[in-house]
Chains A and B, each alone.
Chain A
Amino acid sequence: MSTWPSTRSSTRARFVGTGRPWWSATVVVIALVVSVPVLSVLAAAVASVGSPAWPGDLGEMLLTTVLLLAGVGVGTALLGVGLAWLVTAYDFPGRRAFSWLLVLPLAMPAYVLGFLFLSTFGAAGGPARASRDVFGGSAFVELLAGRLGAPVVLSLTLYPYVFLLSRAAFRGQGQATWDAARMLGATPWRAFRQVLLPLARPALAGGLAVVMMETLTDFATVQYFGVRTVSVGVYLTWKGSFDFASAAQLSVLVLVFAVMVLAGERILRGGARYDSRGGGQRPPAAPHVLTGASRWWAFAAAASVLAAGFLLPVVQLLWWAVSATLADSSSLSTGRFATNLTNSAVMAALAAVACVGLALLVTHGVRVTGGRLARGAAQLTTFGYAVPGAVIGIGVLVSFAAVDGWLEALGVPGGTGLVVTGSVLGILASYVVRFLAPAYQAVDASFATISASVTNSAFSLGASPMRVLRRVHLPLSRSGIAVALVLVAVDAVKELPLVLLLRPFGFTTLSVWVYELANENFWEQAALPALLIVALAIVPVWFLVRQVRLAEPHQQVTS
């Protein structure tokens, strides 16, 4: 009946969408650029497979990494799940405030809390002296300034991830199922083990995966405590010998750890996907009202974690900042402070604009093509957040080296000359790889509120894709763009490992400065920039809390 030949197979049509090849290509190119560093690390490692140059203490490094991951895992699970259950199921003084305040330690970068631990629990610190006076020894206290410090500090700063996810799971169904189990005659321990823990398992798996990734990414904080993980190995190898092959090989090991973490999440989740976000639909069951001493024990538990993870560190920083300023008004640091602050601000602004610009192109590209190709590529752009910093850093270096190679082959002597000396461009590239994900998620969330028929109306009124972006999508996703800019900027200011790895000689940002001062025990001088970073880091935490609150409209009225 048809007089027209078949124009194309339907599978192809679905793959590329309604056919805006330029936009599909844009999204694909962005995805490729983001994945190049990881691919180059793999390629470099494969290329050097014949000549293994493992450092001598590789075995110890691997063991240290496993132990650290296990320690932080246990620590964050205990703190996160325990506190989430406490604030969901029990009523005690300050419960409502704690359910949000306990997220605050997320704003305390581990490298800041780390040096506070060093100063407090070191041999010269107050607790160690007190311990020597009372017990005649201070080995345990000093352990907190040693190897034990690393998992404790990381747990204290990372547990909120587990806390938030577990809390959402418990709010959904925890109380009712717990009550049901108890009514059926289960002891509290059995109810916890057989009902509550399985219920929290998907949340725990998701939270722990994030925690492990952050732990793998860190190679600065752990060095305070003399802990040498594989990530530290990558850093030291590169900075010590500028040897690509070894650094790339080691960073592949980091990547293997990351893959194992993701596989572990799958296994722990075990295919279970309970509707843990159902809490928004109906108000949670009323919490048990604690009475007598137990209510104060509950308060003390929550308060002590908050104090250790956020309040005391902030007070200490404030004290140091004030005393440093009073003692040394002509501060040796004022000049450097301004320079480092400017460096941080410029890097943060560039990273934010680059990430948000790319995120906009990707989201808009997916919207106007609607094909699987663009959607798949867009997913690819977000995986950088799950790649440990050491891998991204070395990957950027390897990619730059390849570009240099091509340039030299084309007759440009020395290429860009950026590799060994490090470069601001390299830091920026690694920021884009790492922070495109949060930018994309924020912009994408905003796009999701623009209905497809608005986009289609604009097209039917004769607007080109570029005009639709400028006149319709951009103004309508302004709030998401603003959030994305702030998130990326703050992340960029906070970021330490990538800058340490890639910075050119003499280029210092606030975070690097804090780290350097802390490493040389200039704690008082480090306090002011550290405070500034913490203050900035509260902003994304506030966004996070607000987002969770919006998803939970049925706030318990009684407290």
Chain B
Amino acid sequence: MTDALRIDGVTKSYGDTPAVCDLDLSMPQGEILALIGPSGCGKSTLLRLIAGLERPDSGAVTVGGRVVAGPSWVPPEQRRVGLVFQEHALFPHLRVGDNIRFGLADRPRAEQDARVREVLDLVHLSHVADRYPHELSGGEQQRVALARALAPRPAVVLMDEPFSSLDESLRARVRADTVDVLRATGTTAVLVTHDQTEALAVGDRVGVMREGVIEQLGTPVEVFERPVSRFVASFMGDADFLPASLVEEGLACELGLVTVRRDTAQAEIVLRPHEVSLKLPGPGVHGAPAVVTHVEYHGAFVLHTVRLASGRTVRSWQPHSVRYPVGTEVLVSIVLGIIPSVLVGERTLGASPATSPPTPAAAG
């Protein structure tokens, strides 16, 4: 089966500033890819390159088996690429039904009507077909924008921070509905976001971008639990770093033995707050001694910050029933069964520099 989207060695610079550098990517039919990265990392430029709103300096873009940029050039209106914007970009002078019909101009009227009804049903908005966009709520506008993009059956749908204009309370709901629709229609989608939770929750795969390259591409689990670099580790969630050194059994840090590997002398280990366990001292309890310096109540969980004997601090998530007051002496260890990532310099030990294979099945 041909890939829904292929990007081969695409480079795009603005003046001397490279926005996307020699980037490769391929997406199988029906995959949802979340692209995440700090602002200016090139994620939006990549989206614009796929849509045809920018021309690559070199490299090729293939949509649905057809080369649209590279040796040949296909303008955006002939690419079969759907776009959903943060501000929804509905045509304010057209009713909802006509907004959706806009992309179906070349089909017979009866087919247009049927398709408009079909996609409106899909997003559960059949009752607003005759309204104008300004009469809809933000969440409804977002769903209409999605329906409009899906109506012409595009090969790929590109979504540029589609949920960030919505209220916090509405966002999770609209996000789940959107993913349901994309799944139900088997749509291939690229979603650009700056929200880690969103990227992990939505994507079949997550691509973490930095300075024009995809630093890590993998399943949410891989990206979160086995980050390939310090950047990915700290960008994809809270992380503390502790120096580790070689001991007889392997690599050890202040909290104890980390791994039996002995192939590096100096390293740092990556600890996420949920991987750090806190216990009160007592018989049979092991761990490095530490003092609680900070407690933040987050509702379901409580974030504790503790200072180790070395003066370094690590953070730990505890269930909401556990709340050690500041000043409490605790014993700190790594949660049983967790094998933390080991950083040598900026890269993770053992991580291949290449990105992981394209299909979720092969990657998982």
Place the interface of chain A in its size category.
20 to 34
B-contact 0/1 string along A456-478, CB 8 Å cutoff: 11111111110100011001100
Tell me, yes or no, whether A241 is within 8 Å of chain B by CB: no
Stretch at the interface among A5-13, A65-73, A150-158, A440-448: A5-13
Tell me, yes or no, whether B11 is within 8 Å of chain A by CB: yes
A-contact 0/1 string along B1-35, CB 8 Å cutoff: 00000001101111100000010100000000000
Q: Which residues of chain B have C-beta atoms less than 8 A from A1's C-beta? A: 9, 22, 24
What are the 5 closest A-B residue pairs judged by CB atoms, nearest first?
A2-B9, A461-B103, A453-B89, A6-B58, A460-B83
How distant is the Cα of A18 from the Cα of B54 in the complex, in angstroms? 6
How distant is the Cα of A458 from the Cα of B152 in the complex, in angstroms? 12
Residues of B within 8 A of A (CB-CB), count: 49
Tell me, yes or no, whether A190 is within 8 Å of chain B by CB: no
Chain A interface (Cβ < 8 Å from any Cβ of B): 1-10, 13-14, 18-20, 451, 453-454, 456-465, 467, 471-472, 475-476
A7 adjacent to B103 (CB under 8 Å): no
Q: A3-B8, A6-B57 are in contact. Are A461 and B102 (CB under 8 A)?
A: yes
Q: Which residues of chain B have C-beta atoms less than 8 A from A471's C-beta? A: 102
Q: Which residues of chain A have C-beta atoms less than 8 A from B92's C-beta? A: 476
Q: Which residues of chain A have C-beta atoms less than 8 A from B55's C-beta? A: 7-8, 13, 18-19
Stretch at the interface among B73-81, B178-186, B246-254, B261-269: B73-81
How distant is the Cα of A195 from the Cα of B200 in the complex, in angstroms? 59
Q: Which residues of chain A have C-beta atoms less than 8 A from B85's C-beta? A: 453, 456-457
Q: Which residues of chain B have C-beta atoms less than 8 A from A461's C-beta? A: 77, 82, 102-103, 148-149, 151-152
Q: A4-B8, A7-B71, A10-B12 are in contact. Are A460 and B149 (CB under 8 A)?
A: yes
How distant is the Cα of A6 from the Cα of B11 in the complex, in angstroms? 9
Closest to B154 in A: A460
A451 adjacent to B89 (CB under 8 Å): yes
Q: Which residues of chain A have C-beta atoms less than 8 A from B70's C-beta? A: 4, 7
10 contacts between A and B (CB under 8 A): A2-B22, A4-B58, A7-B70, A9-B57, A10-B15, A453-B83, A457-B145, A461-B77, A461-B149, A464-B77
Q: A20-B75, A476-B93 are in contact. Are A7 and B58 (CB under 8 A)?
A: yes
Q: Which residues of chain B have C-beta atoms less than 8 A from A467's C-beta? A: 105
B22 adjacent to A460 (CB under 8 Å): no
Shortest Cβ distance from B223 into chain A, in angstroms? Answer: 22
B57 adjacent to A458 (CB under 8 Å): no
Q: Which of B51, B54, B87, B91 has the most CB of A within 10 A?
A: B91
A-contact 0/1 string along B80-108, CB 8 Å cutoff: 01110111011111000000001101100
Tell me, yes or no, whether B218 is within 8 Å of chain A by CB: no
Tell me, yes or no, whether B56 is within 8 Å of chain A by CB: yes
Q: Which residues of chain B have C-beta atoms less than 8 A from A8's C-beta? A: 55, 57
In the complex, which of the residues B8, B79, B105 contacts A463, with contact meaning CB atoms closer than 8 Å?
A: B105
Q: Which residues of chain B have C-beta atoms less than 8 A from A475's C-beta? A: 93
